[in-house]
Amino acid sequence: MKVLWICNLIPARIAAALQQREQQNKEGWVSSAMKKVTEHGEIDLAVAFPRKSDELLHGRYHGVSYYSFYEDSDHPEDYDPSLEGALGHICEEFYPDVIHCFGTEYPHTLAILKLSEWRDRVLVHIQGVMSKCAEVYDAGLPADVTERSTFRDLLRRDAIWQQKEKYEKRAAREAEAVGLARYVSGRTAFDKEFIATLHPSCTYYAMNETLRGSFYRAAWKPHAGGHRIFLAQGNIPLKGAHFAIEALAAVREKYPDAELFVAGDNILRGKGLTERLKLSGYGRYLRSLIARKHLETAVSFVGQQTEEEMKEQYLSADVCLLASVMENSPNSLGEAMLLGIPCVATEVGGVSSLAEDGKEVLLAPAQDPQALADRILQIFDDPAKAAEMGAAARKRAALTHDAEANYRMLCWIYESIVKETGD
């Protein structure tokens, strides 16, 4: 069986072989799934990925064929019709039995679905649900913050209100793509309901994701008297860093040594004119919020992290916090649960499909920093109960993210599609 994956980024394994830069902390599950496919050798796999370069990459590495195609990754909200020809050429060359496209909102997803000769072989995998993300993108931010622009925002045309508009464009493209799709896969009751509402006649497959390998090989241990909070991402308003900072202020009323560490882009920037010019509107708001709450020494943005560095950030924490205003199936929460870290998460989107409140994680209403603080305090106040909850989360995540089981489900889905669409 020949399967073509159309990915959003160059997979890490291919990037390393080609000495190409790749984003270490994004879509690691694609490389994990690829590793499992190549280990079994039952699927002839090819991957296609976007590059903002006319220099096309094509070859084969460790049994996997790879193709690049041009796409303006800086503006994924804009559709380029030339993608149809580029992806059609790749399909004609590789001639896949199944085309597995990751993400509903990308230009290349719509492009492959517009090719009628290949459409019925396409399986679209839901990552986020853009329409729901767009609705709450700037939740909790004052109007004057969302409407203002920094120098960096003006230069990039990327103020908060413009970011929300981009999500709205992606949501419109997502709706068009899903409307064309014959097969869709997802992971939560939330995304299943979304698909049933938008396109009830398409076939929905439930398929969990395999996470990055090192998270299966480590386990969290309690730290005596520790009050370290870890947020895996906080560079856009959707991830709720502003709510996390307000929650931290409330937690420090009881535990003044509590600290918040945030991974991902350091949008707070540094000192000096050059750094200030690079400051985004959201970064400027977070800086002002931190100063207003007197948290200058309690909040640290640690920057982009490799897989091993992220694992160490999790293991060093006393609680993993998910403060997002919308998520479908956040892999950051899955990784934390795999390690057995006590977790506090907002009850949004598909989060409740991953864990049970009070048993495996503590859930809180979205956009409610005091509720987040109360849940964090529950963990700090009762470390034994927190550790017990973390152990339960580890067991649950080991089933959800079982690499072998997920691989077998993937094969079954592909075989089902081939039986329906095979020549």
Q: What is the pLDDT of residue 375?
A: 98
Tell me the pLDDT band of 143, cut-offs 50, 70 and 90. Answer: very high
Q: Residues 31, 32, 35, 40: is their CA dihedral positive or negative?
A: negative
Average pLDDT over residues 359-372: 98
Q: What is the pLDDT of residue 24?
A: 44
HEC profile of 343-378: EEEECCCCHHHCCCECCCEEEECCCCHHHHHHHHHH
Q: What is the pLDDT of residue 21?
A: 65
Tell me the pLDDT band of 273, cut-offs 50, 70 and 90. Answer: confident
- What are the tens digits of pLDDT across the range 248-272? 999 999 999 999 999 999 999 888 8
> Residue 319: which H helix or E strand, with range?
strand 319-322
Q: What is the pLDDT of residue 272?
A: 85
Domain limits, the chain: 2-210+402-421, 214-400
Above 90 in pLDDT, residue 181? yes
Helix (H, G, I), strand (E, B) or coil at 86: helix
Above 70 in pLDDT, residue 176? yes
Average pLDDT over residues 335-364: 98
214-400 falls under which CATH superfamily? Glycogen Phosphorylase B; (3.40.50.2000)
Q: What is the pLDDT of residue 275?
A: 86
pTM over 0.85, yes/no: yes
CA–CA distance, 257 with 248 (Å, rounded to integer): 10
CB atoms within 10 A of CB 158: 18
Q: What is the pLDDT of residue 25?
A: 47
Pick the CATH number of 2-210+402-421 from 3.40.50.2000, 2.40.50.140, 1.10.3720.10, 3.40.470.10: 3.40.50.2000
CB atoms within 10 A of CB 302: 14
N- to C-terminal Cα distance for the chain? 13
- What are the tens digits of pLDDT across the range 76-135? 888 999 999 999 999 999 999 999 999 999 999 999 999 999 999 999 999 999 999 999
Nearest CA-CA partner of 258 in 244, 276, 269, 240? 244
Q: What is the pLDDT of residue 13?
A: 82
Note whether 2-210+402-421 and 214-400 share their fold. yes
CA–CA distance, 38 with 18 (Å, rounded to integer): 18
Average pLDDT over residues 375-381: 98
- What are the tens digits of pLDDT across the range 193-229? 999 999 999 999 999 999 999 999 999 999 988 899 9
What is the token pair recorded at 388? 């017990």
CA–CA distance, 386 with 376 (Å, rounded to integer): 10
Average pLDDT over residues 283-298: 97
Residues with Cβ within 8 Å of 417's Cβ and at least 6 positions away in sequence, in order, are 97, 98, 121, 123, 183
Above 90 in pLDDT, residue 54? no
Output 56 or 388, whichever has higher pLDDT. 388
Count how many residues are written for the chain: 423
Query: Which residues are registered as beta bridge partners of 2?
Result: 44
- What are the tens digits of pLDDT across the range 5-46? 999 988 888 888 887 765 444 567 788 888 899 999 899 999
